[in-house]
């Protein structure tokens, strides 16, 4: 089985799995897939860049392909549909990209309504699925909704969607987190958890789901919502991060759901930690000084941490008007986008190769797959 472990790409793995039943069973085994993913992480196909200029409305998001893709994955790009032509006349706001899905908020200025849809660039089915209307916020007297978001959980056939919103008292002494799950296109209440720890979440808390826990960033710590135990806890930041808070820090889930990574940018240095069993373990420290010199980017530019890949495999940074991609394992920094002189970056979202790959079913009795 070491042969198919070395094929290199998810697309090649699917073709190898069709050679015979034994290879198909092996390629579908979760432990094998974890080994394969560790050796061959899903490739970055490109990223969506969303900018604003002097106009009142933001520019439409633009997909920028990864120019260093091998031919095997370049073919995937050419067959995909990354454009948003189907949404002409509406303001488009990308909220996230996960598992081959692009989550979009559409705003219709004529009707003053928002619609949440999921765009699937790699799918041959061009029908645009939309989510049913989110559950109404049934607030207690005087309470307010302080945050809400759509969150995806799991991968592949186990992908599910959660709607989470936080209800807080007027004096911020108590908060209740409400979680609904999408079942048969209907939102069903999953759990409600009340806590005296009011989560002063960041404007964009970037929730991360790891082993049935939702981690959300606030200014000075991380809030963990355990969906299995219906409990709520606070994760204190590493000492070196606690001094500065989560303003320039981003979380990342481990591929095996064993914990969560935290990447923090301070001046020209990145610090990486891993949280497991209630402890923060230092993983790496990366100095960007020489890397920026190679790209002729001034050290005086503020380095902003924008996005982080799963398993802390890469980061997307902004230095001045330059968008930079850092491969953490290879220690390689390259410029992937340059903003216009008067442009402001609204958001950037990496688009990864879908994982895990889906192998077609093999019909019984096929002589080709007799092994």
**What 3-state DSSP class applies to 148?**
strand
**The pLDDT of residue 345 is above 70:** yes
Q: Which residue has the tokens 């002097």?
A: 54
| 44-71 per-position pLDDT tens digit | 999 999 998 866 667 889 999 999 999 9
Please compute the mean of the pLDDT values over residues 119-144 and round it to a whole number.
Answer: 85
- Is pTM, for the whole model, over 0.75? yes
With contact defined as beta carbons under 8 Å apart, do 48 and 97 qualify? yes
With contact defined as beta carbons under 8 Å apart, do 214 and 237 qualify? no
- Tell me which of 115-124, 259-268, 332-341 is least confident: 115-124
- How open is the CA angle 28-33-38, to the nearest 5 degrees? 170
**The pLDDT of residue 321 is above 90:** yes
pLDDT at position 364, please? 58
Q: Which residue has the tokens 């410029």?
A: 335
Beta strands in 172-266, from DSSP E residues, in sequence order: 175-183, 186-195, 208-210, 213-217, 221-226, 231-236, 249-253, 260-266
**The pLDDT of residue 368 is above 60:** no
pLDDT at position 282, please? 97
Confidence of residue 111 (pLDDT cuts 50, 70, 90): confident
**The pLDDT of residue 180 is above 70:** yes
- Tell me which of 80-84, 112-116, 269-273 is least confident: 112-116
**What 3-state DSSP class applies to 12?**
helix
Reading the block at residue 358, the tokens are 């889906």
Q: Which residue has the tokens 């064993």?
A: 258
pLDDT at position 50, please? 94
Torsion sign across C-alpha atoms 252, 258, 259, 261: negative
Torsional class of 58: left (φ above 0), alpha (ψ -120 to 50), beta (otherwise): beta
Alpha-carbon distance of 316 to 306, in angstroms, equals 6
The reply to whether omega before 356 is within 30° of 0 (cis) is yes
Q: Which residue has the tokens 């390259």?
A: 334
* DSSP structure string for 136-147: P--PPTT-EEEE
Q: Tell me the percentage of the chain whose pLDDT exceeds 90.
A: 56
- Tell me which of 41-45, 58-62, 166-170 is least confident: 58-62
Looking from the CA of 150 toward its CB, the CA atoms found within 13 Å total: 24
Domain range annotation of the chain:
131-236
pLDDT at position 369, please? 54
Residue 315 φ/ψ, nearest 5 degrees: -135, 150
């Amino acid at each position: 089985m070491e042969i198919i472990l070395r094929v290199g790409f998810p697309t090649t793995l699917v073709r190898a799995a069709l050679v015979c039943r034994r290879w198909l069973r092996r390629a579908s085994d979760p432990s094998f897939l974890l080994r394969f993913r560790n050796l061959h992480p899903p490739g970055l196909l490109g990223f969506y860049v969303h900018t604003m200029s002097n106009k009142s409305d933001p520019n439409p998001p633009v997909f920028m392909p990864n120019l260093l893709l091998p031919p095997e994955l370049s073919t995937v790009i050419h067959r995909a549909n990354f454009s948003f032509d189907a949404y002409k006349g509406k303001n488009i706001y990308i909220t996230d990209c996960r598992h081959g899905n692009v989550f979009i908020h559409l705003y219709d200025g004529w009707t003053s309504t928002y619609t949440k849809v999921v765009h699937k660039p790699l799918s041959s089915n061009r029908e645009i699925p939309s989510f049913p209307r989110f559950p109404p916020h049934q607030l207690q007297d005087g309470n307010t909704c302080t945050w809400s978001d759509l969150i995806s959980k799991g991968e592949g056939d186990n992908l599910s969607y959660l709607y989470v919103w936080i209800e807080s008292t007027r004096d911020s002494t108590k908060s209740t987190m409400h979680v609904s799950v999408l079942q048969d296109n209907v939102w069903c209440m999953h759990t409600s958890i009340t806590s005296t720890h009011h989560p002063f979440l960041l404007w964009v808390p970037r929730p991360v789901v790891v082993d049935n826990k939702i981690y959300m960033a606030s200014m000075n710590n991380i809030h963990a919502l355990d969906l299995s135990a219906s409990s709520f806890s606070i994760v204190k930041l590493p000492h070196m991060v606690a001094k500065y808070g989560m303003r320039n820090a981003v979380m990342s889930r481990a591929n095996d759901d064993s914990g969560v990574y935290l990447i923090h940018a301070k001046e020209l240095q990145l610090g990486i930690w891993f949280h497991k069993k209630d402890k923060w373990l230092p993983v790496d420290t990366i100095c960007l000084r020489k890397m920026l010199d190679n790209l002729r980017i001034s050290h005086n530019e503020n380095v902003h941490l924008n996005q982080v890949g799963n398993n802390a495999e890469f980061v997307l940074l902004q230095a001045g008007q330059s968008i930079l991609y850092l491969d953490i394992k290879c220690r390689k920094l390259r410029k992937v986008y340059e903003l216009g002189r008067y442009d402001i970056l609204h958001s950037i979202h990496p688009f990864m190769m879908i994982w895990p790959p889906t192998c077609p079913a093999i019909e019984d009795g096929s002589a080709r797959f007799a092994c």
